[in-house]
């Protein structure tokens, strides 16, 4: 039994879980919110960690695993955190200014709280370290790109690794022999083409803004739109806020929560219905591209909040693609369940699966692996 303390530190919160990396048993967990805010849960991240330590009581971890959003091109595997690694994480925070500084605050606070146990960084980008240059290169000046670290990195890698391994077990096949297209659909959303357990294409880019329509992010957009809005008087901060915080489903409907959008659409709201059409169109666009990139697929997998719970989204993504080998079981897909399941017809050449993700367990397992290898 190896007990791991998993930390997901945000700018104003610390989500945490204490679990066994082997069995997956969760002993305790929680969240410290509104850190640094007036009347909030903690004065700073160090204070938040002290509160968590008090809550843990006599339970102490053997390893601490940290979710870190961006590892740049340098960190492509779980990495034991040293002072030198911490310094490098600070340097590459420019690649993810909304996420990495908060992740780093959590690391510093946790290392101070648990100074005698190893700490490991698990990077959302690491799984995509197998992307070929043709897949990660943007067609801009090469020296400029090299100087500023501009390339596709991809995200949600911890989820993709976990889900791909679970999908292989469900199918009773070796992951090395499978071609999978995995849709991680939550408030943030992306899709990944996985060949033999390796990421070969993914929709998010240098940042988590590229790709699918999301809760509040635009996803793919013509860069010329930014120039147009800039000439109209919108500054960089305004553009950043618009595309990251006020776009996606929120921009199209006034709400970024898929549950609300779906309810409105079901009630006949034309704006919500039009937004879902845009959302589905983007999903199908990427599905077609990744079927070509892989030369076919063994399974299409849905995970995360929307992917696991919204039957309409799953159906709309693959509907009418029987000639491509995708045949849904409408009854199985519509069934409200929270477990792993097959929602395609028994005779469908390409299987469609629902696999609930478990990023905390994956972080725990990779953290243990990093300190024992």
CA–CA dist 148, 143 (Å, integer): 9
Strand-pair category, 341-342 with 351-354: antiparallel
CB under 8 Å to 177, separation ≥6 — which residues?
A: 196
Catalytic residue among 87, 124, 141, 240: 124
Number of residues written out for the chain = 373
> Is 174 considered catalytic here?
no
CA–CA dist 72, 280 (Å, integer): 30
Q: Residue by residue, what is the 3-state secondary structure of the chain?
A: CCEEEEEEECCCCEEEEEEECCCCCEEEEEEECCECCCCCCECCHHHHHHHHHHHHCCCCCCEEEEEECCCCCCCCCCEECCHHHHHHHHHHHHHCCCCHHHHHHHHHHHHHHCCCCCEEEEECCHHHHHCCHHHHCCCCCHHHHHHHCCCCCCCCHHHHHHHHHHHHHHHCCCHHHCEEEEEEECCCEEEEEEECCEEEEECCCCCCCCCCCCCCCCCCCCCHHHHHHHHCCCCHHHHHHHHHHCCHHHHHHCCCCHHHHHHHHHCCCHHHHHHHHHHHHHHHHHHHHHHHHHCCCCEEEEEHHHHHHCHHHHHHHHCCCHHHCECECHHHHHCCCCCCEECECCCCCEEEEECCCCHHHHHHHHHHHHHHC
Q: Which residues are catalytic?
A: 124
């Amino acid at each position: 039994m190896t007990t791991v303390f998993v930390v997901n530190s945000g700018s104003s919160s610390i989500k945490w879980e204490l679990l066994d990396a082997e069995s997956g048993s969760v002993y305790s967990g929680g969240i410290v919110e509104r850190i640094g805010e007036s009347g909030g849960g903690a004065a700073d991240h160090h204070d938040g960690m002290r509160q968590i330590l008090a809550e843990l009581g006599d339970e102490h971890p053997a390893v601490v695993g940290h979710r870190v959003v961006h590892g740049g091109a340098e960190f492509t595997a779980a990495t034991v955190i040293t002072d030198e690694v911490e310094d490098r994480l600070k340097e590459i925070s420019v690649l993810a200014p909304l996420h990495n500084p908060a992740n780093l605050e959590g690391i510093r606070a946790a290392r101070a709280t648990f100074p005698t146990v190893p700490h490991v960084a698990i990077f959302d980008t690491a799984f995509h370290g197998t992307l070929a240059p043709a897949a990660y290169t943007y067609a801009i000046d090469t020296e400029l790109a090299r100087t500023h670290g501009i390339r596709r990195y991809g995200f949600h890698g911890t989820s993709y690794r976990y889900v791909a391994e679970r999908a292989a077990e469900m199918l009773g096949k070796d992951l090395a022999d499978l071609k999978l297209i995995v849709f991680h659909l939550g408030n943030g959303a992306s899709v990944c083409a996985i060949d033999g357990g390796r990421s070969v294409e993914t929709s998010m880019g240098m940042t988590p803004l590229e790709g699918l329509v999301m809760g509040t992010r635009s996803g793919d957009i013509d860069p010329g739109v930014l120039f147009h809005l800039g000439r109209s008087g919108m500054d960089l901060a305004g553009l950043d806020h618009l595309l990251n915080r006020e776009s996606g489903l929120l921009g199209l409907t006034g709400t970024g929560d898929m549950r609300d959008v779906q309810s409105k659409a079901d009630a006949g709201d034309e704006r919500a219905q039009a937004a879902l059409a845009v959302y589905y169109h983007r999903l199908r666009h990427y599905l077609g591209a990744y079927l070509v990139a892989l030369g076919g697929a063994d399974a299409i997998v849905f995970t995360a909040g929307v992917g696991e719970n919204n039957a309409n989204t799953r159906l709309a993504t693959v509907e009418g693609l029987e000639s491509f080998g995708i045949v849904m079981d409408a009854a199985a897909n519509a069934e409200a369940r929270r477990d792993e399941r097959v929602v395609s017809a028994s005779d469908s050449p390409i299987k469609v699966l629902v696999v609930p993700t478990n990023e905390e367990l994956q972080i725990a397992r990779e953290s243990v692996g990093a300190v024992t290898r």
